[in-house]
Amino acid sequence: MKIFFIADTHFGDGNILIYENRPFKSVEEMDSTIINNWNNIVSENDKVFLAGDFSFYDMEKNKEICRNLNGEKFLVIGNHDTESEDYYYKCGFSGVSRYPIIYENFWLVSHEPLYINKNMPYANIFGHVHGNPIYTDVSERSFCVSAERINYTPVEMSEIKRRIMEKGV
């Protein structure tokens, strides 16, 4: 079993194509690409943490998307995930949290970046910032998993750890 992370899939969101200059001709192409990229590396036995901003579709379409995505899925609710926790469970997520979660006693998984300094015993895996150049892709204490930054493909935990270690943690 492998663990993966991604944020800001924005399934069904035509505005994100413009706001973030996503390289797709249509929402359908974007959705299809993200689903295919996801399923090319995530197996049914893997776990995926989606750090917010899942989808802009209705429940039936969201259920379909979840059924079509490999792995067990966990959602940390983002600012565009406006439905109840129960709604996202019904869509097909195994876990849903309105608040950041702690993974392996070290990783704070959140939608928005959290304040982390070198004296804190944590590192932050986050989304929300998309391509905003103020935030780095990876630092000694953080890793951005916004879809734009990870080629619209979930990134494996071992890759996150490797890249953070390269920064000097």
Query: What would the pLDDT profile of 91-140 be if each residue is shown by its tens digit?
Result: 999 999 999 999 999 999 999 999 998 888 999 999 999 999 999 999 99
Q: Describe the chain by its helix, strand, coil percentages, rounded to 5.
A: 30, 20, 50
| Structure token digits, residue 80 | 């565009």
What does the pLDDT look like over 40-76, one tens digit per residue? 999 999 999 999 999 999 999 999 999 999 999 999 9
Q: What integer is the mean pLDDT of 18-41?
A: 98
Sole residue written with tokens 């690409």: 33
| Structure token digits, residue 123 | 């590192």
Contact 74, 95 (CB under 8 A): yes
* Predicted pLDDT of residue 167: 85
* Predicted pLDDT of residue 34: 98
pLDDT surpasses 80 at 158: yes
pLDDT surpasses 70 at 169: no
